Amino acid sequence: MAAMLRIYLLLLPLFLSGIVTNVLATVFILQNSCSYTIWPGTISGNGAALLGDGGFALSPGATIQLPAPPGWSGRFWARTGCNFDDAGNGHCTTGDCGGTLKCNGGGAPPVSLVEFTLGSGDAAKDFYDVSLVDGYNVGLGVRPSGGSGDCQYAGCLADVNGNCPKELQVVDGGGAVVACKSACAAFNTPEFCCTGDHATPSTCAPTQYSRMFKSACPTAYSYAYDDLSSTCTCSGSDYFITFCPIN
């Protein structure tokens, strides 16, 4: 009996540690509401854990849960039109991350992004946003669940590809618009990229193109300094991330 008690006492801290870890973990629930398969990509910042091995296939209607530790930061995005071999090598029409299923870098623009920085203490705030700064390929929505604070819905529900100006369009071999470039990617000038003499909020103003993105998706980042109406906060929440929230 004494030996069993000693073993129990030795294992108890590990057991309790597992409980605390599970309680504190934030869960991202990714759902594919597109009518086609997508290949979500993930990337982590500051040496944080890589979620979902960096990338995976998600069929129409499917969901996946990815727990993240406190303090995690990173991005999620959808890749479309992918073709990978058994070794995980291949290419995607949009959002490609170096020709591999499991990303070890970000998605190639134009791509819609959802970005997170999770809090690391009791009642610490999570910061999150949907960004079209790198352009647009599919709709995105983020809905907090079970948190406290402002906890706003963020997303881009509009079909930006359907209204993309010709000079920003990316088309596939059949002529269909599959993505919409940012003005920075299309023209590479300081005015559109917020660089050089336009590298501060006071010198980099909205443009006709960022206004187009903002009009279509009011709660998403439309250019680099679009902070006031685009950064969201919540505490102690899980997050539903939906691709093509309105199909």
Looking at residue 247, its pLDDT comes to: 57
CATH number for the domain harbouring residue 231: 2.60.110.10
61 assigned to some structural domain: no
Task: Say whether pLDDT at 71 is over 80.
Answer: yes
Task: Say whether pLDDT at 224 is over 50.
Answer: yes
22 assigned to some structural domain: no
Question: How does DSSP assign 177-206, residue by residue?
Answer: EEEE--HHHHH--HHHHT-GGG-STTT---
Please give the tally of structural domains in the chain. Answer: 1
What confidence tens digit (pLDDT) does each residue in 12-46 have?
Answer: 444 444 443 445 689 999 999 999 999 999 999 97
What's the average model confidence in pLDDT over 69-83? 96
Structural domain span for residue 236: 27-53+68-148+158-243
Global confidence as pTM: 0.86
202 assigned to some structural domain: yes
Looking at residue 17, its pLDDT comes to: 41
Looking at residue 68, its pLDDT comes to: 96
